[in-house]
Structure 1
Amino acid sequence: MNKKLFLLAASLLAGIGSYAQNRTNEIGFQSDNDSFLGQGSDRYYTNGFFLYYRHAMDVSKMKNDKLANAVFGLELGQKIYNAQSGQLPSAAEVDRPFAGYLYLGASANLLYKDETTLKLTAKAGIVGPAAGGYPIQKFIHNTFGFYELNSWQYQVRNAPQLNLSAEVNKLLARGSWADLTFTAYVNAGTGFNAAGIGPMVRLGNFNQLFQSVSTQSSVSKSSNNTLLHNNEFFFYYKPQINAVAYDATVQGNIFKDHPEPGTQEIVGDINHLVFSNQLGVALTTSRFVFDVGAVINTREVKQMVKSTHQWGSLTVLYRFN
C-alpha cells in the first residue's frame, strides 16, 4: 500500500513538474526603487513601476522549424527621475532634470532552438508633467512620511514618445552549473537612442534561453522543449557598456531647442558612454516567477554630483493557462 501511495505521489509530482513547463500566460509587476538598497538615497532614477502580461504563441503554426518558443507581451510602465534630491534650496543644485516617463508597450519575443533570441518592442508614451511623476512621488512621500518635495518645477516639459527597441541574446558557453551569454540592444525613437553590449553570467539551476526568466520567456506553448530543470534558481551578473545618443528624460523634446524660452526647464548634458552592472537572483516555481536584483550605473549626466547611482528591483509574475 505504501509503495502504491509513493508511486502515486511521484506520478503527481512529475505531472506537476511537466505541467509547470507549459504555462502559456503570465501576469505580474516589477518595482524599482533606490530605497530598496537601504542607503537612504532618493536621487536620479528613483522609482519605477511596471505591469506585464505575456502570452506564449503556438510556434507549430509559424512554419519555422528553428523556433523553440515565441512570446507576445504587453507592458504598462512609469519611471520617475530626480535631481540629487527632491528637496533643493535653489535651481543651482539641480544636477539632473526632474522627469516622469509613462508608456504602453508591446513586444514580440522570438526564441530559437540554438539559443539565439530576438525581442522587438514598440512603446508609445509621454515624458513631462503629463506622465504623472510629481503626483506619484508626492503620494509615496506623504504615505511613508518622507520629506516634502519642492523642486518639481524643474522637470522637463511634455513631449510625446514613440520608441522602438531590439534585444539579442546568444549562448556562448555552458557547463553543468554555469553559462555565458552575449547580450546586446538598440533603442531608437523620439526619446531614447542608445545601444549596448555585454556578457551575462548565470550560476545555478537555469534553463535554456528559449524558456527562461533571463529572456522573459518562462511561458511556452510547446511540448517539445526538454528543459534542463523544472524550476530555475540561479544567480546572474550582467555588466554592460552603453552608448547613449539621446535621452528625453534629460534633454526633453527632441524636436525643440533647449531650454525652451520662457520656461524654468533645466536641461542636462548627457554622458555618451555609460557603464552598468546588474546582478541578482531568479527563482521559478510551478506558478510563480521571482527576480530580485540591483543595478549600478556610472554618471549618466555630466552635471551629476554623484559619480554613480543605483537602485533595487523586484519582479513577481504569476503563470497560468
Structure 2
Amino acid sequence: MYPYKALLFILLLFSLDYSSVYSQNSSYRSEFGFISDNDAYLATGQDRYYTNGLFLNLRHAVSPARIRSDKVFKNIWEFNVAQQMYNPKSGYAPTQRYVDRPFAGYLFGSYARHWLFKNENSIRAEIQIGTIGQHSLADKGQEFYHHAFGFYNIDGWQYQIENEIGINTKVSYLLKLTESKNKKLDLSLPFSAHLGNYFSGLDMSALFRMGKINPLNNSVATNSSIGNEGKYKGEFYFFLKPRLNWVAYNATISGSMFNPKSDNEITFDSRPLVFAQEAGLAYAKERWNLGFSLTFKTKEIESSAKAHQYGSVRVAYKFGKNL
C-alpha cells in the first residue's frame, strides 16, 4: 500500500510557521486520535513484515480534585482499539517457500492509566484483550485495502497463525534524566515490560528531544498535553528514540502459545534481541497534535527474513476545554 497523500499532508502541516507554537493556547481535558503505521510511508515500494497498523485512542485527564497524591501532576486514562497486520516479504506468497515471516494479525482493545509526576517521571499500566489468527480479520482487511486501491492480489493467508484469544499486560516507566539550560534539549529513559500469551519481554530506550519542548508531564511525547489547568504551550521538536528489545515470546512470529499448530500454519522462532531506531518530528498547537516518524529495526526472525523499516503518522484532536 502506498498512501502518499497522507505523508504529504503531514509534511505540509510540519511546514507551518514554527514561531506560532510559542503562543499560549487553551488547555483541554480530552483527546481522540489515531496512529497509522505502514512501511509504504518510506516510499521504497516494500510491503513486508509489519506491513500495517491502525490504532484508535481516546484519552481523558482526571480532575485535579480527584488526585490524592501531592507528587502526581496528572492522571490520564486511555482506551484503545487496534489492528496490526504482518506478512512475509510480500503479501503474495502462493507457496510455502515464499513465507519468510508468518502471516499474522493482532486485533485488540485496551485500557490504560498513566500517572505523571511533578518531577517529570511517569508510570503507565495497560491491559490488552484481543485475538490473533483468523479472528483478527487481518486477512480480510489486507484484501480489502489492496482491492480498494488497485494493488496486487493477496495470496498466502492460508498459512497464517492459529486463532487464540488472550490477555497481555504492559507496564512502562519513564525516567527524566537531564535537560539543557535553555530547555530546548532533554534526555529521558523509557522502560517497559510486557507479559501475556501474545507478547512477553522487556524494552529499554533513550528518548532525545530537541526544539520547542514542554516538560514531559505536559507533552505530546508522553501523550499528556491534555489536562493542564493553565495554558498549554505548543511544541515543535525533533526526536530520536533508540530501543533495545529483549523478546521472550512473540505470538505473531511463533504462533499460538496454547493451541496446537495446524497443518498449514507456518511459524518461526523469534530472535531474542532486536534493536530499533525511531526518528521523527512532533508538532502541537491549540487543539491538534501531529507527528511523523520512521522506525528502522534489525532482523526479528530466525529465518531468511531481513531487517525492516516502517513509518508512523500520528494525529490527535483535543476537546473539552478546561474552565
TM, length-normalised to structure 2: 0.89
Contact 1:237 1:278 survives alignment (8 Å): yes
Q: Which amino acid aligns with 1:113?
A: K
* Aligned position for 2:229: 222
Matched, 1:283 2:286: no
Partner of residue 239 from structure 1, selected from 238, 242, 256 = 242
CA–CA separation in structure 2 for the residues paired with 1:165 and 1:211: 22
> What is the Cα deviation at residue 17 of structure 1?
2.4
User: Percent of aligned positions with the same letter in both sequences?
Assistant: 34
CA–CA separation in structure 1 for the residues paired with 2:74 and 2:135: 37
CA–CA separation in structure 1 for the residues paired with 2:64 and 2:107: 32
Contact 2:195 2:201 survives alignment (8 Å): yes
Matched, 1:179 2:198: no
1:98-121 Cα offsets, whole Å, 9 max, x none, are 001000001000000011110100
CA–CA separation in structure 2 for the residues paired with 1:57 and 1:89: 51
SS at match of 1:210: helix
Partner of residue 145 from structure 1, selected from 138, 150, 156 = 150
Q: How does 1:197-212 map to 2 (within 5 A)?
A: 197-212=204-219
SS at match of 2:28: coil
* Aligned position for 2:82: 77
Q: Which amino acid aligns with 2:263?
A: T
* Aligned position for 1:4: none
Contact 2:67 2:75 survives alignment (8 Å): no
SS at match of 1:24: strand
> What is the Cα deviation at residue 18 of structure 1?
4.5
> What is the Cα deviation at residue 269 of structure 1?
1.1
Contact 2:278 2:293 survives alignment (8 Å): yes
Kindly name which structure, 1 or 2, has the bigger radius of gyration based on alpha carbons: 1
* Aligned position for 2:314: 315
Matched, 1:114 2:119: yes
> What is the Cα deviation at residue 239 of structure 1?
0.2
* Aligned position for 1:156: 161
1:40-74 Cα offsets, whole Å, 9 max, x none, are 00000000011110000123322200011111100
Instruction: Out of 79-88 and 248-257, give the one that drifted further.
Output: 248-257
Q: CA-atom RMSD, angstroms?
A: 1.5
SS at match of 1:249: helix
Q: Which amino acid aligns with 2:199?
A: F
Unpaired runs of 5+ in structure 1? 1-12
CA–CA separation in structure 2 for the residues paired with 1:36 and 1:83: 18
CA–CA separation in structure 2 for the residues paired with 1:157 and 1:194: 21
> What is the Cα deviation at residue 250 of structure 1?
1.2
TM, length-normalised to structure 1: 0.89
* Aligned position for 2:268: 268
Poorly superposed stretches of 4+, deviation over 3 Å: none
> What is the Cα deviation at residue 92 of structure 1?
1.7
* Aligned position for 1:294: 294
* Aligned position for 1:188: 195
> What is the Cα deviation at residue 251 of structure 1?
1.4
